[in-house]
Each structure stands twice: as C-alpha cells, then as structure tokens.
Amino acid sequence: MAFYSILEYTATGVTSIYTTPPYIEEAHLTVTLGGVGQVLNSDYTLSGTTLTFSVTPTIGSAIRISRKSSPDGRVVDYTSGAGFSERTLDLDSLQAFYLAQEGLDLQLEYASAGGYPANLGQANAVQIGINQTNIATNAADIATNTADITTAETDILANSSAISDLILYQLSSDYTKRKIIRVATDFGTIDPTVEYFIDGVVDMGSTSIEIPAGGINIRGYNLGISKLVSTAASYTMFTSPVGGSGNVLGQDFTIDVSGAGSQVYDIVSQSGFDAIEFARLNYENCTSLGSIDNYRQGLEEGTGRFGGTPSLTLVGTWVGGFRVTTSIVRSLDSGMTEPLFKAGAGFTMNSRFLTDINADLPPAAPFVDFAPSNFPNASTVQIQGAILTRAGFPDATDSSICPNLSATDLSCSWVKNIGLPNTFVGGIAKVTANITQTPISATGTPYDLVVDTWADSNLAHFDTKTVGVSNRGLRNLGVNPRDFRVSVNFELTSSSGAGDQITLLLEKYTESDVLISEITRSTRSALTLSGTDRVIFHFDSVTTLDTNEYVKIRVQNETDTSNYIVTPDSYILIEER
C-alpha cells in the first residue's frame, strides 16, 4: 500500500542509504529498524531526503521511516505589508499539505487494519478534528494573502531605483570617508582625504582624473565588477596638476583605455618621494600605460596586462625601486614593439627593480629596454623566478627579451628564471700559455706567480686584477653575495726541484693590495715524472669578499730557492656558495 508520509523497506544487507519522505524539520521523522526506534546522529544521519544508517542493516530487517509534522502552531505568521518570498509561501503551504497527507495515511493504515483501534480514544479524534480545522484555516490565509503578496512585489519592482539610491545613501552615511563612483563626473575635484569606490563599470569618456599633491586612493569590488574604461582618442586617464601629484594607491579594479593615441598615466611626483602602489589591478586592452615621472617607488601585486600594447615608461630619478610580483601578461597585440617596461628621459633607479612576472610577449616586444646605466647600484635589476615566453615558448638565448642587459652585468641579479639567462656570480682565471719561471730568491717566502698569458671566463660581478709582474687576482665588484667557494687547480714544474716542499697560498686582499688574511694553504712534495720535477695542487676553500676585495695565489718553496713554472691549464675558480 502506498503512503504519502510513510516509506517502508526491507533491508538488502548491502546498502545503508535510504530515501525519506519530504519534511520540514528533521525532528518530524521517526525511524525504526526491526521495530526498534533509531536515534538521529547516532544510529543514522540525514542529508535532505537521504538517510544513511551508521551500520548497514542486516538482510531482511524491516525499515520504517514516517513523518509526523507538528500541528501545535503555524510555521509562518504573516504580517501585513511585509514582503513574501517563494520560500515563505512554500513553507506555509507545506505545513498544511504535510498534515493533510499524514491524516490520510493514518486513515489508510487504520482502514487496512480493519478499522480504528479500540483505544484510539476521544482525544485522538479531537486532535484529528483540530488538524483538519488548521488545514482549512491555513488554506484560507494563503488565499487571503495572495493579493497582498502581488501588491508588495509590484511595489518592490516599481521602487527598485529608489531602494538602490537609499542603499548608496546609507553607504555614504556609514562611510563618511568613501565616495561612490558610478559615472565619470562623480570624481569631481579629487579629495585626498577620501576613498573613491568604483561601483560597477564607469565609462570615463574623455574625462581625466587629475591627481592632486595630496594623492588619490581608489578601490573596487573586484577585477570583474569595478572598471574604469574609455575608448576616447588622445585621452589620458590620470594626469598631474602644475607642481605634480602625490601618492597613487588602488586595489581591486580594472583599467581599460583603448582609444587611439590614448594612455593611462601622465603623472609626475610633486616631491620625488611619492609612491604608486596597486594590488589586484588589471590593465585590459590599453593602448599605452603612459609615463610615471620621478616617483620614489612603485609596487604592483597581483596585477595583469591583457590585450593591447601596455608599455609603461619610467622617467626621471627614482630614489626607491619598482616591485612587480605575482603578475601575469597575456594576449598582447601581436604588432606591439615597445617594451613592457621602458626607460624614459633621465631614468635612473637607485634601488631595485624586482619582478617574478609571468609574461608571454609578442614577437617583437622586449620585456625591458633598461641599460646598466639606469641602475647605478649592483644587483638591483632583480628578475627572479620569472617566466618569459614568446607564443608560449621560453628561449633563454633570445637576447631581444632584455636587449640592453646581460645576466652578467653588475646591475643584474637574475635567478631561477625560465626563458631568461640566470646570473652565476664568480668566474675563472686560467693560465693558457707560459714558459716563464717564477723566481724564488728566499726559502719560506711567498712570491707572486709569473705567467705569460692568462684567460678569464664566465666573469659575473667579478673582474681580474693584475698584481706583481703578471699574477692575476679575482676581484668582487658586487655587494651580494659575499660568501664564495674558491677552487684551486695548479701544476708547477722545475728542472731542479726534486723533493722540494712547495706551498700554494690562497690570500685575500683589499683594493689597495693590502693583505687582509690568508684563506688557506696547501703544501705538496715535488716528484720527478718523465724527467721533470712536478707538484700538483687541487684544493677548495670558502671565504667572504666585500666590494673590490680580491683573491690571488702565491707560491713558496719551503726547501730551497729552485724556481718553478706554472703550467698551462692551471686555474683558480670562484663562485657563489
């Protein structure tokens, strides 16, 4: 027999999941297993109309899931003039509907059992009558309030604009330092003491935003909702007054300036100590990002450049740096030839340009056109962990990515990049030709090596310094790193040195050739091989080197004054630890 509020199953011994009748509250369900009542969240759990037993019922067990809605009071109590949602109406109707179903199921059960039980009692009969009365009352209330609901919905639709204005007014009242921007003219004269909030897509047309000396602060909902856009030709979105602008701060909005000959910025710092800082900002379809002049520092976090030709020119002296992190560049105009970051007139940056950008560049567009002269301090062009590609493919040999810079330049510190060479600080000084003896005139005294020809290779942030007659030192030009490993591989020969004890000394010196310290030394005995007395050295050590300090090798004969010749292919190597 089919019931509306009762579901009965015979357990299969396989599944623990069963379907319940629909209900308003979990407490309205009664579950028995083999005639034994089950406890919610102990013996079983509910998720909507899905019931899951904690333990799979044994095969053949009788499962009964019944619903008994509460007739004690109404779930919904309507108030005149209130708005009514679909959920509210459904809930009110369901209470009456479920009570009616449960009353029918009760009668069906009694009928199938041969009539009402003798102990049903007058109280149950009275309760059934009350339930039927409640059902009728609820149905009448629903019918009575239908007109009110329709009227309220009509009023809401008719007054949606007024409601929106009221909300904005309330926001303005609650946030006295926030100005809501919905159209271009809402900006007006910029007040540095308030935050400008972009409420939706604002078409700026040909209206520029002049940033005063006190600066500007702009915020939006997110990159997709809040946008400042313009398709006007020869347009600049952000400009400076005479005397310059202050800090430019913003987050969570998009800029789209796509008109012919248009640009995003033409701003200059009023003091040389202002900052331009953005978090979660996108540039979409921009013809140009324009120029930023003489600011102290720039910061981009979570920014994106999508479409267009968004070249940004940095102008004048920046006493700080520019940091672009967690930034992505995609789908730029294939005809773009200007660099993503361009050195403008008089550009120098005294601190670092740091980025881990992920940029897919057009075929002819550089990443930067900076030159070493733009960065007077060592290791301040820091491209670290970046991915640079063209058409999705990296090529570390593509010199047009950074056409005026090399990974070995003193200004560059390029580390762990894809699609760009990396900087490996250090270098090698190697003997390539030599027949000249190093004269030794006293036992136990160190002497500079005499070598005919040295060759230097892989020098990065190092150069070589000639010391003595023709010895060679490896000199640190940088400021970071300071910690180095030095490898020494030398062979010396003599025609009269059999059995000599020969020492090589690895030493550290100042720029003015003053000995700072002996790093290490190694002593070996000369052996006669193929008629020549030979001594071979191979040893490593570590040291610190500050700017312009250098390391060199000297030789010392501990036994006599026999002279020695440094053989070709001997070398000293230094590298970052």
494 and 545 together in one domain: yes
**Which two tokens mark 192?**
């540095």
pLDDT digits (tens, 9 = 90+) for 166-191: 555 555 555 678 999 999 999 999 99
Residue 90 has what pLDDT? Answer: 81
Q: How many domains does the chain have?
A: 3
Mean pLDDT of the chain: 91
Residue 170 has what pLDDT? Answer: 56
384 and 518 together in one domain: no
Query: Model confidence at 59, in pLDDT bands (50, 70, 90)?
Result: very high
Q: Is 402 exposed, middle or buried (0-12, 13-18, 19+ CB in 10 A)?
A: buried
Answer whether 255's CB lies under 8 Å from 281's CB: yes
Residue 264 has what pLDDT? Answer: 98
Q: Which residue has the higher pLDDT, 128 or 173?
A: 128
Domain boundary among 359, 390, 415: 415
What average pLDDT does this structure show over 86-101?
Answer: 85
Q: Say which range, 108-122, 215-229, 257-271, 508-522, has the weakest mean pLDDT.
A: 108-122
311 and 401 together in one domain: yes
Which has the closest alpha carbon to 198: 224, 212, 180, 172? 180
Asked if pLDDT for residue 14 goes beyond 80, the answer is yes
In a domain, 173, yes or no: no
d(CA 272, CA 387): 32
Axis-axis angle for helices 121-158, 86-112 (nearest 10): 160
pLDDT digits (tens, 9 = 90+) for 218-274: 999 999 999 999 999 999 999 999 999 999 999 999 999 999 999 999 999 999 999
Range of the domain at 506: 426-576
382 and 465 together in one domain: no
Per-residue DSSP letters for 42-55? TTEEEETTEEEESS
What average pLDDT does this structure show over 487-511?
Answer: 93
399 and 436 together in one domain: no
Cα angle: 22, vertex 26, 32; to 5 degrees: 85
d(CA 577, CA 574): 9
Tokens 């005139």 sit on residue: 441
Residue 74 has what pLDDT? Answer: 81
Sequence-ordered alpha helix ranges (H) in 113-182: 121-158, 160-174
Query: Model confidence at 200, in pLDDT bands (50, 70, 90)?
Result: very high
Asked if pLDDT for residue 484 goes beyond 90, the answer is yes
pLDDT digits (tens, 9 = 90+) for 446-482: 999 999 999 999 999 999 999 999 999 999 999 999 9
42 and 118 together in one domain: yes
Q: Which residue has the higher pLDDT, 472 or 86?
A: 472
What average pLDDT does this structure show over 554-563?
Answer: 95
384 and 475 together in one domain: no
What average pLDDT does this structure show over 390-395?
Answer: 95
pTM over 0.75: no
Answer whether 532's CB lies under 8 Å from 474's CB: no
25 CB-near residues (< 8 Å, 6+ apart): 70
SS3 28: helix
In a domain, 131, yes or no: yes
Query: Model confidence at 395, in pLDDT bands (50, 70, 90)?
Result: very high
Q: Which residue has the higher pLDDT, 240 or 79?
A: 240
Q: Please give the share of the chain, as a percent, with pLDDT higher than 70.
A: 89
Asked if pLDDT for residue 116 goes beyond 90, the answer is no
473 and 539 together in one domain: yes
Beta pairing class for 195-198 and 178-181: parallel
477 and 401 together in one domain: no
pLDDT digits (tens, 9 = 90+) for 286-341: 999 999 999 999 999 999 999 999 999 999 999 999 999 999 999 999 999 999 99
Asked if pLDDT for residue 84 goes beyond 70, the answer is no
565 and 448 together in one domain: yes
440 and 409 together in one domain: no
The domain that holds 452 is classified in CATH as 2.60.120.40
What average pLDDT does this structure show over 134-163?
Answer: 67
**Which two tokens mark 88?**
């509210």
